Amino acid sequence: MAPPPLNHLRPSDIRGIARLATQATEGVTDIVEGVHQSVWSTVGAPGGPEPGRTRGLTGLVYRTVHGVTRVVGTGADLVLTGLQPVFDAAENGRTETPQREAVFAALNGVMGDRLSADGNPFAIPMSLRHRGAELDLKTVGSVPDAAPKVLLLIHGLCMTDNQWSVNRDGRVADHGASLASALGATPVHLRYNSGLHVSENGGELATLLEEILDRWPTEIHELTVVAHSMGGLVIRSAIHQAGESGLSWPDRLRNLVFLGTPHHGAPLERAGSWVDGVLAATPYTAPFAKLGQLRSAGITDLRFGHVLDEDWRGRDQFSGAPDERVIVPLPEDVACFAVAATTAARRSTLANHLIGDGLVPLSSALGRHDDPRRCLDFPEASQLVVYRTNHLALLSNPEITEQLVDWLAPGASRCVIP
């Protein structure tokens, strides 16, 4: 039987929860004050010094609420920080549960940028993992089964590395395990805060892979990457930034597989941007637009598939601006493969553009774009479309596992980008 939900909590979680409560109180107060001022505006009453702020006694009340909330929040955080050694002692010997890690991954996907900026302990630090444990850069040289071939698996938005192993029809499906066996490679998983900008995660991953390359017990001759969803954007960003910084690990990159990656964005995020615009259209609903703007920088990057700092820096991430991304082609001299899914039974115009896998259209997953300059040149032999399959089922579909082995196993013909 699954343990009760409270059994997944830790004493140290109190600090993270307290910080979230402080942020939530301030956010709700902002919305209430915004609605209050909108009502006053309809009768010609002037507002405060900033949009959405009230003035006079009313403004004083709201400022007092904000001030008290910050004082209480700061005081609670100081006390709980001092108790951290006690919390750590109480948690000694307790292992993480998959349910707890999944909740934190989802929370980071939705608001991980805010968690990181606030120093919230719920923010997930980037790490490489092997056999379910974090790889310590100081001791990575002691990996017992370290091979000269490394298979890196990167999860998607709101996910964790645990979700690469899926129970399907009573059997465990794991692309990583099957590929590692076929390739004779050591599987390594990336865990990261998917609420940060894709380019931020890409830059950190580029540096991390360079450190692993230097510290691996044996010389790495070959690196293969399999990335699901947002993970594909992260590795594209890492490759580009590594090239600009003169890092050496991309020279070892041989294969790059994308599973349902929104190379040109996801309609669901574009719909979220549209809702923001609708809410902001009237003074009564404008304050509630802040609720939609809780979504993270990582999520808004999925509107068009941002991979570089230049794609978002200096711009309002919630504005309805057009696609102005820097064009980033697939890496040269690397065998690149794209797997796309659709919940439809067969391919059609509707399935290609509207249905897709429930989150990512086929055209986006296959790198196709109306602007020829933005198209990603996946060779036909390096594309796979699976039917009656949704976005998450990409991680457990046996047809995909079989195709990955055929593509990547030694002796397979490689179609590289010249």
Q: Which helix (H) or strand (E) holds 166?
A: strand 165-168
Q: Which helix (H) or strand (E) holds 66?
A: helix 56-82
Question: Are the C-beta atoms of 151 and 185 separated by less than 8 Å?
Answer: yes
Tens-digit pLDDT profile for residues 369-418: 999 999 999 999 999 999 999 999 999 999 999 999 999 987 665 555 55
Is 95 or 343 the better-scoring residue by pLDDT? 343
pLDDT of 297 over the 70 cut:
yes
Q: At a CB cut-off of 8 Å and minimum separation 6, what does 95 contact?
A: none
pLDDT of 7 over the 80 cut:
no
Distance, CA of 167 to chain centre: 23
Is 116 or 144 the better-scoring residue by pLDDT? 116
The confidence score (pLDDT) of residue 1 equals: 46
Share of the chain above pLDDT 70, in %: 71
Measured CA to CA, the distance from residue 49 to residue 56 in angstroms comes to 11
User: Can you give the pTM of this predicted structure?
Assistant: 0.81
Measured CA to CA, the distance from residue 32 to residue 58 in angstroms comes to 12
Of 119, 143, 121, 117, nearest in space to 130 by CA: 143
Q: At a CB cut-off of 8 Å and minimum separation 6, what does 392 contact?
A: 163
What distances in angstroms separate CA 163 from CA 153, 233, 392, one per listed residue?
A: 11, 18, 9
Query: What ranges in 119-197 are assigned the alpha helix state H?
Result: 175-183
- Give the other-Cβ count within 10 Å of 40's Cβ: 15
The confidence score (pLDDT) of residue 137 equals: 76
Measured CA to CA, the distance from residue 344 to residue 365 in angstroms comes to 15
The confidence score (pLDDT) of residue 152 equals: 97
Least confident of 31-40, 177-186, 253-262, 326-335: 31-40
Tens-digit pLDDT profile for residues 140-192: 767 778 899 999 999 999 999 999 998 877 788 899 999 999 999 999 999 99
The confidence score (pLDDT) of residue 167 equals: 82
Mean pLDDT over each residue of the chain, to the nearest integer: 82
Measured CA to CA, the distance from residue 237 to residue 295 in angstroms comes to 21
Measured CA to CA, the distance from residue 18 to residue 286 in angstroms comes to 28
Tens-digit pLDDT profile for residues 181-226: 999 999 999 999 999 999 999 999 999 999 999 899 899 999 999 9
